[in-house]
């Protein structure tokens, strides 16, 4: 049977774009459909604009710190519209670049929503044109989850809208205790917004090392974020331009904006999965095997729509593995064991490998090394913010099993530590490494005192 394309990809985010470009470079005929903007969540309404916001918010601190170094900076003032405009310009540039690179690789782009109509076919909406493909890749990502059970939930924004607020509110409520909630709480607090974080748990960042969770709670308080823990929003109403939140503890308070950051879910709704025989799990995530094959043998899925490790670099690497396996006769799968994570709070967090809790459960003997100190840069600026570094070591083999860092640039640090952990290095090899002085990172190779 002849097909219009060798590969048809639905979703031009990080995973879909990488898989499509590489497949086309292997000589296959490839098309990709995108209903929103090429670049996907990461580029358009995720990691990239978020990081610009993080920088913007951090400049306020730097201005304060600079005074201790002799700079006379006058009164601080911040212009939100300037940030939005410059951020949008850069997102436009990246969007054009993604399109250009796809076209350069020979990929046909359809700026349409595409839905599956069978194991080898998709329909482009709204026009209804049917296209066939030998293989289909679903890379539609995720969407913010809304608290549908909370009356008035539609009055809350999600991270999608947070990137386009016409003006900064004076007061903001952020619901959730995951990546997005803590990052945006720091961003908006740093931009001068009076932020309250409401979370159903007693601590943020479930699943992270306990010391990092403690570090983050302290950092949020230091940033001036009001914490409402073990509390949920029961109802939201609107009055005089303000959103009134009624909390589970009976209190109520009004805010200029309420942002819901209670997780994301796979974007599979209305995709025609049933028509094509593609199975999903109870969270509507597409079930795939280690080569990203769904229950339908010609259809594949990767990235957040499979709800495994929902991170951009993972989706990109999955895209590479998929293209190599299916179109370059070079079967590849990913090792998900050592994946570094960064949370761009202020200060940031970096984490790779096992948490102390996980290591204690899995290994007979564990050694912990931990260092907490005030980074040199904070000293003259009278900035009390601290840095925390922790290594978790297998007592039997001396191998470093986990590293957790809280502090400025922790996201950069952890990328490098991840190389050492991927290589399976031991604590003795960390210790053999000669320190770079004076840096904060030298602590990683000079921690000698075992805490346990
Ligand atoms: P997360 O899954 O990280 O966190 C969701 C939070 O919402 C948790 O604190 C959870 O609580 C809480 N929650 C879930 N359901 C409810 C509910 N019904 N009512 C109240 N609270 C609820 O999701 P995010 O939205 O923060 O981020 C989504 C994903 O995006 C992340 O998992 C990550 O993969 C990715 N991401 C990565 C970033 C990075 O790499 N820096 C940045 C931003 C996003 P509980 O802990 O009790 O379950």
Task: Give distance in angstroms: CA of 411 to centre of ligand 1.
Answer: 18
Task: Give distance in angstroms: CA of 265 to centre of ligand 1.
Answer: 10
| Identical topology for domains 5-144+265-327 and 153-262 | yes
Smallest CA separation from ligand 1 atom 23, residue: 263
Contact 45, 122 (CB under 8 A): no
**Which 8-state DSSP code applies to residue 408?**
T
Smallest CA separation from ligand 1 atom 39, residue: 343
Task: Give distance in angstroms: CA of 311 to centre of ligand 1.
Answer: 12
Active site residue 367: no
Pocket test for ligand 1, best of 47, 173, 176 (most atoms within 8 A of CB): 176
Q: Which two tokens stand for residue 379?
A: 């000293």
Would you say the C-alpha torsion 271, 275, 281, 287 has a positive or negative sign?
negative
Contact 285, 263 (CB under 8 A): no
Q: Could you identify the atom of ligand 1 that is nearest to the CA of residue 261?
A: 25
**Which 8-state DSSP code applies to residue 406?**
E
Does pTM top 0.95 for this prediction?
A: yes
Beta bridge partners of 349: 343, 406
- All structural domains of the chain with their residue ranges: 5-144+265-327, 153-262, 341-446
- Which fold would CATH assign to domain 153-262? FAD/NAD(P)-binding domain (3.50.50)
Q: Which residues contact 157 (CB under 8 A, 6 or more apart)?
A: 165, 257, 258, 259, 260
Q: Which one of the listed residues 120, 199, 222, 437 is annotated catalytic?
A: 437
Query: What is the rounded distance in angstroms from the CA atom of residue 44 to the CA atom of residue 185?
Result: 20
Q: Could you identify the atom of ligand 1 that is nearest to the CA of residue 199?
A: 21
Contact 14, 319 (CB under 8 A): yes
Query: What is the rounded distance in angstroms from the CA atom of residue 296 to the CA atom of residue 308?
Result: 19
Q: Is the peptide bond before 169 cis (omega within 30 degrees of 0)?
A: no
Query: What is the rounded distance in angstroms from the CA atom of residue 198 to the CA atom of residue 217?
Result: 12
Q: Could you identify the atom of ligand 1 that is nearest to the CA of residue 304?
A: 34
Task: Give distance in angstroms: CA of 67 to centre of ligand 1.
Answer: 37
Residue (of 355, 344, 357, 340) closest to 391 by Cα position: 355
Smallest CA separation from ligand 1 atom 48, residue: 206
Query: What is the rounded distance in angstroms from the CA atom of residue 244 to the CA atom of residue 322?
Result: 47
Q: Could you identify the atom of ligand 1 that is nearest to the CA of residue 149?
A: 18
* CATH code given to domain 341-446: 3.30.390.30
DSSP result, 318-365: HHHHHHHHHHSS-------SS--EEE--SS-EEEEE--HHHHHHH-S-
Q: Which two tokens stand for residue 231?
A: 């509390």
Query: What is the rounded distance in angstroms from the CA atom of residue 249 to the CA atom of residue 232?
Result: 8
Query: What is the rounded distance in angstroms from the CA atom of residue 78 to the CA atom of residue 80?
Result: 6
Q: For 385-441, where are the alpha helices, taking DSSP H only? A: 410-422, 427-432
Residues touching ligand 1 (Cβ under 6 Å) are 147, 176-181, 183, 199-201, 206, 232, 261-264, 310-311, 341-344
**pLDDT at residue 171 in the model:** 98
Q: What's the gap between Cα 357 and its chain centre?
A: 23
Tens of pLDDT along the chain (452 residues) come to 799 999 999 999 999 999 999 999 999 999 999 999 999 999 999 999 999 999 999 999 999 999 999 999 888 899 999 999 999 999 999 999 999 999 999 999 999 999 999 999 999 999 999 999 999 999 999 999 999 999 999 999 999 999 999 999 999 999 999 999 999 999 999 999 999 999 999 999 999 999 999 999 999 999 999 999 999 999 999 999 999 999 999 999 999 999 999 999 999 999 999 989 999 999 999 999 999 999 999 999 999 999 999 999 999 999 999 999 999 999 999 999 899 999 999 999 999 999 999 999 999 999 999 999 999 999 999 999 999 999 999 999 999 999 999 999 999 999 999 999 999 999 999 999 999 999 999 999 999 888 87
Top-level CATH class of 5-144+265-327? alpha beta
The interaxial angle of helices 80-105 and 14-25, nearest 10 deg, is 30
Task: Give distance in angstroms: CA of 146 to centre of ligand 1.
Answer: 12
Smallest CA separation from ligand 1 atom 31, residue: 179
Smallest CA separation from ligand 1 atom 30, residue: 310
What dihedral angle (degrees, nearest 10) is formed by the CA atoms of 435, 438, 443, 444?
A: -50
Task: Give distance in angstroms: CA of 260 to centre of ligand 1.
Answer: 10
Task: Give distance in angstroms: CA of 404 to centre of ligand 1.
Answer: 19
Q: Is the peptide bond before 126 cis (omega within 30 degrees of 0)?
A: yes
Pocket test for ligand 1, best of 180, 217, 418 (most atoms within 8 A of CB): 180
| Helix, strand, coil % in the chain, rounded to nearest 5 | 35, 25, 40
């Amino acid at each position: 049977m002849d097909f219009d394309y060798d590969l048809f990809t639905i979703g031009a985010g990080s995973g879909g774009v990488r898989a499509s470009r590489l497949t086309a470079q292997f000589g296959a005929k490839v098309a990709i459909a995108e209903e929103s903007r090429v670049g996907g969540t990461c580029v358009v309404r995720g990691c990239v604009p978020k990081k610009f916001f993080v920088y913007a918010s951090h400049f306020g601190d730097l201005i304060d710190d600079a005074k201790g170094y002799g700079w006379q900076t006058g009164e601080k003032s911040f212009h939100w519209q300037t940030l939005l405009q410059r951020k949008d310009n850069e997102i436009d540039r990246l969007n054009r670049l993604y399109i250009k690179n796809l076209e350069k690789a020979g990929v046909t782009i359809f700026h349409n929503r595409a839905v599956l109509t069978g194991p080898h076919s998709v329909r482009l909406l709204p026009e209804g044109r049917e296209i066939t493909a030998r293989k289909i890749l679903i890379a539609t990502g995720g969407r913010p989850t809304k608290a549908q059970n909370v009356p008035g939930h539609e009055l809350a924004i999600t991270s999608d809208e947070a990137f386009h607020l016409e003006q900064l509110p004076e007061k903001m409520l952020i619901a959730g205790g995951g990546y997005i909630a803590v990052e945006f709480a720091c961003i908006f607090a740093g931009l001068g917004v009076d932020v309250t974080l409401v979370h159903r748990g007693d601590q943020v960042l479930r699943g992270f090392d306990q010391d990092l969770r403690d570090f983050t709670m302290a950092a949020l308080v230091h940033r001036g974020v009001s914490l409402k823990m073990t509390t949920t929003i029961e109802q939201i109403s609107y009055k005089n331009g303000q959103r009134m939140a009624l909390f589970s503890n009976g209190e109520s308070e009004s805010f200029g904006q309420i942002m819901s950051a209670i997780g994301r879910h796979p974007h599979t709704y209305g995709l025609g999965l049933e028509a094509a025989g593609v199975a999903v799990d109870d969270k509507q995530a597409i079930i795939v095997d280690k080569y990203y094959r769904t229950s339908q043998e010609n259809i594949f899925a990767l990235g957040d729509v499979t709800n495994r490790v929902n991170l951009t670099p993972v989706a990109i690497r999955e895209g590479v593995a998929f293209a190599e396996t299916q179109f370059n006769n070079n079967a590849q799968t990913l090792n998900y064991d050592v994946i570094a994570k960064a949370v761009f709070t202020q200060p940031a967090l970096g984490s790779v490998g096992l948490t102390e809790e996980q290591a204690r459960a899995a290994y007979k003997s564990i050694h912990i090394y931990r260092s907490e100190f005030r980074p040199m840069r904070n000293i003259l600026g009278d900035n009390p913010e601290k840095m925390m570094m922790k290594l978790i070591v297998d007592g039997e083999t001396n191998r470093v099993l986990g590293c957790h860092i809280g502090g400025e640039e922790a996201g950069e640090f952890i990328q490098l530590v991840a190389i050492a952990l991927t290589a399976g290095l031991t604590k003795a090899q960390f210790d053999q490494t000669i320190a770079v002085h004076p840096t904060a990172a030298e602590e990683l190779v000079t921690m000698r005192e075992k805490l346990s």
